[in-house]
């Protein structure tokens, strides 16, 4: 019995030693490799701030020349001179081409001579009328002869007026032999060569003249935006219309700006087929970044909301109960419901739920829950401060 008790005590001691040894090894392993769930979550943060945020609408537009003029001859004749180069910038009134004017000059001279002849006849008839009136008063001739002469004078006056109309017609036709640029613009490819006989009924123009400075962009927006667009146009009427920006269709809306312009007209009806409204904007296009026929992205500025509370877009999380953010207090976070009024490409405008200066998590929120411990990382050196330029 005594030996059995001694053996039992030895077994208990060995088992206890093994248990203690394993517990020590487990504790050492936990110390060396802690559970990730118990570690602070690394995050990036940013404060909620007040800012002026533009409200903008984006659409797709087509660049159009402000004026497109097909240069056609107005009279018939040989084309004896071409005074423009293809792709040349010209001004209104510049001579583009010359048609042989000799026939039209002769017609003008003939009309002038005919009027001079009829002016002489009219003057003679008027002098005769004066004589007949005197004779009729003294009863040396009949009143009928005086009336007949008066009718002759009226006929001669009508003939002179007709002659003047013929002169104006001949002068106009003569002026058409000199083809001038009706507007400022740039000439296109010449489509009729020197020496050809041109006609006023020709369908092929000499060239096409387009106005590139300034230039127009026609773009569309959903019809649901009509009230806001109409209000913006009315509010900015004294400034020339709402501001617009033309951007390249590269998919990167923060890239190069092709031009700044103003909306000049909102079309007077909604397109029933597409449910869109059409607008036209004009751009100075001094650098010729906009070219007729090109597609561009158009950003229309409706208004600027001043002093609103904003947070970076990345800070806003979505859940069954709506939008929320994680706010930072010390080294822990709190789930904070918010109401987002609208959002831009960079920031969310918060109408309620946050105060300026509250710090929110902008990166790492997917690993957080209510009360999670965090470790705030330094923002990358290349990261830019949160600013807002687009709405």
How far CA 70 is from CA of 94, 176, 196, 205, 207, in Å, comes to: 15, 15, 18, 6, 6
Residue 389 clears pLDDT 50, i.e. is over it: no
Average pLDDT score, the chain: 86
* pLDDT at residue 44, rounded to an integer: 92
What are the tokens at 182? 């009706």
How far CA 386 is from CA of 51, 310, 314, 315, 353, in Å, comes to: 10, 10, 11, 12, 20
Q: Which residue has the higher pLDDT, 388 or 304?
A: 304
Residue 150 clears pLDDT 90, i.e. is over it: no
* pLDDT at residue 388, rounded to an integer: 43
Q: What is the DSSP letter of 177?
A: T
Give, to the nearest 10 degrees, the angle between helix 102-137 and helix 143-176: 160
CA distance 389 to 391: 7
Domains and CATH numbers, the chain: 41-51+306-376 (2.40.420.20), 57-66+210-305 (2.40.30.170), 71-208 (2.40.50.100)
Residue 123 clears pLDDT 60, i.e. is over it: yes
Residue 59 clears pLDDT 80, i.e. is over it: yes
Q: By the 8 A CB rule, do 322 and 337 touch?
A: yes
* pLDDT at residue 345, rounded to an integer: 82
Residue 256 clears pLDDT 90, i.e. is over it: no
- At residue 11 the predicted structure's pLDDT band, cuts being 50, 70 and 90, is low
Q: Which residue has the higher pLDDT, 254 or 236?
A: 236
Residue 32 clears pLDDT 60, i.e. is over it: no
What mean pLDDT comes out for the span 249-275? 85
CA distance 345 to 362: 15
What mean pLDDT comes out for the span 58-74? 95
- At residue 385 the predicted structure's pLDDT band, cuts being 50, 70 and 90, is very low
CA distance 217 to 297: 10
Question: DSSP string of 264-300?
Answer: EEE-SS-BTTTTEEEEEEEE--TT----TT-EEEEEE
Q: By the 8 A CB rule, do 205 and 255 touch?
A: no
What are the tokens at 232? 């913006």
What mean pLDDT comes out for the span 81-104? 96
Question: DSSP string of 83-105?
Answer: ---TT-EE-TT-EEEEE--HHHH
Q: Which residue has the higher pLDDT, 3 or 366?
A: 366
Percent of the chain scored above 90 by pLDDT? 65
* pLDDT at residue 162, rounded to an integer: 96
What mean pLDDT comes out for the span 171-181? 96
CA distance 105 to 166: 13
Question: 222-226, 257-261, 370-374: which range is least confident on average?
Answer: 370-374
* pLDDT at residue 147, rounded to an integer: 81
Residue 391 clears pLDDT 50, i.e. is over it: no
- At residue 137 the predicted structure's pLDDT band, cuts being 50, 70 and 90, is confident
- Three-state secondary structure call for residue 250: coil
Question: DSSP string of 198-226?
Answer: E-TT-SS-SEEEE--SSEEEEEEEEGGGH
Burial class (CB in 10 A: 0-12, 13-18, 19+), 6: exposed
């Amino acid at each position: 019995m005594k030996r059995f008790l001694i053996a039992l005590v030895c077994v208990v001691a060995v088992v206890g030693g093994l248990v203690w040894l394993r517990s020590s090894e487990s504790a050492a392993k936990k110390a060396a490799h802690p559970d990730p769930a118990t570690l602070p979550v690394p995050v990036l943060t940013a404060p909620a701030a007040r800012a002026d945020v533009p409200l903008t609408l984006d659409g797709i537009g087509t660049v159009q020349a402000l004026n497109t003029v097909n240069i056609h001859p107005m009279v018939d004749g040989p084309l004896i001179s071409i005074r423009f180069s293809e792709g040349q910038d010209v001004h209104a009134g510049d001579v583009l081409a010359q048609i042989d004017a000799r026939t039209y000059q002769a017609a003008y001279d003939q009309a002038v001579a005919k009027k001079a002849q009829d002016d002489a006849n009219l003057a003679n008839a008027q002098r005769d009328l004066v004589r007949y009136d005197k004779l009729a008063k003294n009863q040396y001739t009949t009143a009928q002869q005086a009336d007949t002469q008066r009718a002759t004078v009226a006929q001669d006056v009508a003939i002179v007026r007709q002659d003047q109309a013929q002169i104006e017609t001949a002068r106009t036709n003569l002026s058409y032999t000199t083809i001038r640029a009706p507007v400022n613009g740039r000439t296109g490819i010449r489509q009729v060569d020197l020496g050809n006989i041109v006609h006023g009924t020709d369908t092929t123009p000499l060239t096409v003249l387009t106005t590139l400075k300034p230039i127009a962009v026609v773009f569309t927006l959903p019809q649901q935006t009509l009230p806001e667009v109409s209000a913006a146009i009315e509010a900015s009427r004294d400034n020339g219309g709402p501001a617009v920006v033309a951007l390249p269709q590269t998919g990167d809306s923060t890239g190069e700006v092709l031009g700044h312009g103003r909306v000049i007209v909102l079309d007077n009806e909604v397109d029933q087929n597409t449910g869109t409204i059409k607008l036209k904007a004009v751009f100075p296009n001094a650098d010729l970044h906009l070219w007729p026929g090109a597609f561009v992205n158009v950003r229309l500025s409706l208004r600027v909301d001043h002093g609103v509370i904003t947070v970076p877009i990345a800070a806003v999380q979505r859940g069954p109960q709506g939008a929320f953010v994680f706010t930072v207090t010390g080294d822990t976070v709190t789930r904070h419901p918010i109401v987002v009024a609208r959002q831009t490409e960079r920031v969310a405008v918060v109408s309620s739920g946050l105060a300026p200066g509250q710090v929110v998590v902008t990166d790492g929120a997917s690993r957080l829950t209510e009360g999670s411990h965090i470790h705030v990382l330094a923002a990358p050196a290349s990261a830019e401060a949160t600013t807002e330029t687009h709405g």
